[in-house]
A and B are shown apart, each in its own frame.
Chain A
């Protein structure tokens, strides 16, 4: 089947779009009758047989008018896409499990409104937009993310059935865009801040001075903090309790891979780290991130948060080089 594949590649231009803006010429718009269009044709055939049988001149006129309407509808459906200008926009990062939105700026140079333009990634929900005459609009094509990493959504199908629904014209858009999908955050209590810069001391009890109480154990809690005596008193169904400490003079917070419970899977540990980053950012703490093979220095602020999350998202991926290096 390589011949078929190469035919498909040639016909549907499976290569990504390099030139921007994407302008839809006739070479890349495809059109076929919809099921409604086929039904329409069948209805016309049956009507024609009836008109011949009963010798209905006006019936002939009606059928021919409808046939003409079908042809004209085809032209209009095609023109609904023809000459459309699309510019892909920057894709905001999302957390796994959320909808990623791939923005497209649309520009219409025509004096007619382009209606019911439907955008979708394969197997994803459709976003529909009307584009005013000689105007612009933007649409965000959504993609339901499932796992962290760099998401390459593939090509977008832009389709329309307007005006009569008898034909479906479509075009494949394949902008070079990708979306960073952060791990799905798991919110747990932040690890204790450390007064020192040395990561080696982070998991000692230093700095965690006063016992502050008990709380249910979360996945991120090291086993060392489990209050075994309390656990022994309680029945098995209930979550284990951990000892909580407060106080200390932490200036810097190190969120380290090694701080997460080692019995959790790597993805879970990344999720926990993500939750920590979010919490730390919300508390406006200064924090650093330590991952196997990667370390981000202590800082705070929006940009730091983003680079931390990106590091988490791309952890362990091939060509882990961050996006910025590629774009430079």
Chain B
């Protein structure tokens, strides 16, 4: 390579929630940061809300128990599951709230400071799920906080979101919480045209971003509002680029308007990812599309796309199978550095995948625990337990020890580990000890 390498303090590999928070956290600590990203990962297809932890000791059907402060849930997870990232980092767990507030202040368009307790947010499957920090458009839909009369809207143009199922599920959840709530399904023909009877979610969200669209939707809805309605729930399409669609819609309808959590494909997930990207640019972080390849780990010599990069420290935030950080083609493999992969308590390689999967789909699945093992300073370790490098850190779901589908700690771990890893990487780059480090 003829050109001189680009020099940075911190190279973050991966640009989802974990990587973005790591980059923001490192930048706040004064480091120069480059984010290398191959493509969008799991964050862009997430629900758009941040789950930290439910109460792991209560049965999941005990909704009342899920309304605990998320930090308390995370502490219980750490106690019960020492291999979970919360468990490995339990000394630092008191800083979890700080990491969430950091995210909220970094994305002021999307988030308020996290609440005192988990919210129970309605999903398109007629369930509710505990979430620590939701986007402003989502958090008002809390089954423990909604008023007694709720209108649940579905669009004929979006048949995959069914108001009847959601309304019924909300009432079931309210009953389980001992609350009075009547949810009324409502079918809207807004968006529907003869040519296009159905449309993908991103298209609907973009249509609502357009000038005048919110007012048009409100004027279609307002005259048809049944009596006694005090809030309105929409499918998760309330704007992609403009974060204020829910607020403007509330003003125009005259009732608070919220959206459901989203499955993939997810407008709130993309909205979150795009807000993270804006925050990165605002913090002076460079985002570069391209795969990162390590030339010399101790020397911090990397290739990002076609360009050489010299980084004083690095954060591995490449995700799991969806993000591409962990692969399994006949055997488990960490994709950037070839670090050993662990699942459960042991190292995994070529073993039969069926042995790492329980027959019941809803079980905690060991194969989905696969990831790199970290020490208490978030440094990935080699097979002998020694950190691969003093200046390499890991964040998010590339870390082993938890199946977010089962324990519901996904984005919470990403925010917490990203925050700490970014800070640690900035400190390592400067050669000084970070606050709370050793």
Is the A/B pair a real complex? no
